[in-house]
Amino acid sequence: MASQMDRLTFLKVMGIGGAVFATGLPGFAEALGPTGSKAGAAASDFYWVQLSDTHWGFEGPKVNPDATGTLGKAIDAVNALDPQPDFVIFTGDLTHDTDDPLLRRKRMAEFKQQAARLRVRQIRYLPGEHDAAEDRGEAYREAFGVSHYAFAHRGVNFIALDNVSQVGSVLGAEQLKWLAGELSHTPKDEPLVIFAHRPLFDLYPDWDWATTDGQKALDLLKDHRFVTVFYGHIHQEHHHRTGHIQHHAATSLIFPLPAPGSAPKRAPVPWDPAHPYRGLGFRQIHTQPQLKSGEGLQVLAEKPLAGSLKGAGAPA
């Protein structure tokens, strides 16, 4: 696929909660380099899918009467993508919180069984506070491994952060030190993607839509030219910039939440029988990289989850 696509082709990005073509990222066009160059050989076009806030184990018919079916529908939709994404990443709140450690582990095992149906070769995970806050991530690490990590893929550097396992909505001094170490050997002019569950900036702290020490992470990132952050937690599409750093939130796969500060309290938006799956859906992002600046031109269009389901007028 990659070798046959022109850099200036509009790239479709689709997925539940978001999917991304690499050439749509700021700086990727520059990473490609001239045709036949060493840089061009290292970087090639690809895309991945971001899924977020599945809350496996949630029960609430007034909020989502299809709570046990929505994730499966999303997986079916991703499995139908052709070509398949290079990887899928779940950006937190894989399961719904519980103070019962046995039930927590049971939900994580059930979630893994569901996720295993994905056709994609590589699946990556991040914890959300619903997965990790009760036991500081102990059960999560047992089920999914480390909660923060770095990897490189086809010319793009990726860093996954954990801003949920410690008390106080923080990354913590140890993880910030680790992040600084990773960034010290990451070229500053190469595309860099950050994954997190909570936003790293102060979106709406009164609703816990912030990371207490997130600015320290942003300060570490500011010298890198092309940084894009993908996160979840707020159960809705949201786009923001802090300086040159772009931040994109994904929708949830269980229920939407109101816009920041638009309601007296943070509470799930009730299910609308006339519009099932409203707020849960596909996002298409068409991107045209601009070679001189390395910036990406993005045009977004939301597609409701119901639109991807045959005859989906009501929960199955």
Q: Which of 313, 294, 298 is nearest to 30 (CA)?
A: 294
Distance separating alpha carbons of residues 167 and 163, to the nearest angstrom? 9
Task: Write down the pTM of the prediction.
Answer: 0.85
In order along its 316 residues, the chain shows pLDDT tens digits of 333 333 222 223 333 445 565 656 666 666 555 544 444 444 456 778 889 999 999 999 999 999 999 999 989 888 888 878 888 899 999 999 999 999 999 999 999 999 999 999 999 999 999 999 999 999 999 999 999 999 998 778 899 999 999 999 999 999 999 999 999 999 998 888 899 999 999 999 999 999 999 999 999 999 998 888 999 999 998 999 999 998 999 999 999 999 999 999 999 999 999 988 888 864 433 333 333 444 433 334 444 566 655 544 455 5
